[in-house]
Structure 1
Amino acid sequence: MPRFAANLSMLYPELSFLERFGAAAADGFRGVEYLFPYEHPPEALLARLQEHGLQQVLFNGPPGRWDDGERGLACLPGRESEFRAGIAEALRYAKVLGCPRVHVMAGLVPEGQTREALRATYVANLRWAAEQAAAQGTDLLLEPINTRDIPGFFLNRQDDAHALLAEIGAPNVKVQMDLYHCQIVEGDLAARIRQYLPTGRVGHFQIAGVPQRHEPDLGEVNYPYLFGVIDEVARGCGWDGWIGCEYRPARGAVPGGTSQGLGWLGRASV
């Protein structure tokens, strides 16, 4: 079966961030991801990974002014210098942590502008970032995100993401295929997995139950079936990536709540 990585920004919310590494390892995870590492020195994070035998599989580049509502800079004209500084910082962390991929958040479409008007900035920024990342063997990921969770996000659909890959033209830029977002925007998940995974341009999956973003065994999506589809297609095309568990535990911050909700993981690993 595919490999599952714990998203430490969402799982184990009753613990401090640095304590979550040990909790994930105790529950059988061998990979971790999270939104942003920048509050901690990379060496401190590396020590946690090494202590618990974990692999860092993904994190996000700096998003701009997150507390002010920004969700990335890649599509924003006039913010290129900030974007480049953020990419440099992300790649510094990736190198220390041995992390093979970084998600570059696209950003929100400013009021009064259109996605088409921002496309040239987005493509130019990603081409530059891809060149920097290639020098150290790092992949950059583009993630389509639904407009219910993040209204106005620049990138929402799988077909648009793959069209952008063709336009950017860099082999180390790939798609982060979050099945939670994809179900809300498009549906037809099994067909989209079969369509896109064999292209070699899907770098990472993420999962959560729909519609409440809880455990993947809660909600309308039949994840056991989709795990089988991923496994089948992956065997045929040689894909050996990770599935990030980016969901909010239904038990919230109740001590041990994340672990109590992992029955789906045991069943998926059989």
Structure 2
Amino acid sequence: MSLKQLFNHLVKKNKTNKEKINWVTNPPKKDFIDFMTNKNSVTKTIGDEWEGHAYYDKAENWLYKFWEEDTVFYQRFQELDCTHIVEIACGHGRHVQFYLEKAKSITLLDINQNNIEYCKNRFSSESKISYYVTNGNSLTGIETNSQTTVFTYDAMVHFEMLDVIEYLKEANRVLIKGGKILFHHSNAGYLPTVYYTSKPHWRNFMSADIFAHLASRFGFQVISQDIFSWGEGEDLVENVDCLSLCIKVKNIDP
């Protein structure tokens, strides 16, 4: 059995819950013990790994995966009110062109200063865009109850669960009631103790069910969850991603 087939086998077992997963992959590239006393050091480490990454240039050629009309990304995006929209982990801003005309205000966030500077240059003629360098788990600087949508594509799949939790909390704070989140996150709910780069497509520990549970605790109701595979050919891994669309139904205490 190849490594890809083994990962697919594990995902299928996890999805159906027919038997307990008990498999140890190669040792992780980083030991979590080093980060146990400071959660933000894990967040920063992950952010640093994407600093100046060749991914950003290559990703400009993959926009069809998100914006062709037959994709789940495009279809779910049509359910959003883009009047006041926040994009988490914007990278070089490749998605902005697809909602620019719909929005009255746009807020772009990224953990890397270089990405924010790139976006400022790319959209220098657009006065309705604001930019923030985030610490990797907050929406600091955005007013409470001011936004209609918070979304992220092709980034949260790598995030630590603790940071996803913080973003859910912050999204509840900044969204108006009835506002929505559209989060593309991992469905790799197995091998919870390994570092994310040791898992297929660098998907961190998360699942559709865990996300739905967390979202409900932070004042959101799940509208839809689409589970899908990622990669092509020999790199295809089944059911490793999820796109969750949720609506804010109540405010939560800070």
Fold conserved (TM > 0.5)?
Answer: no
* Structure showing the higher strand proportion among its residues: 2
Normalising by structure 2, we get a TM-score of 0.36
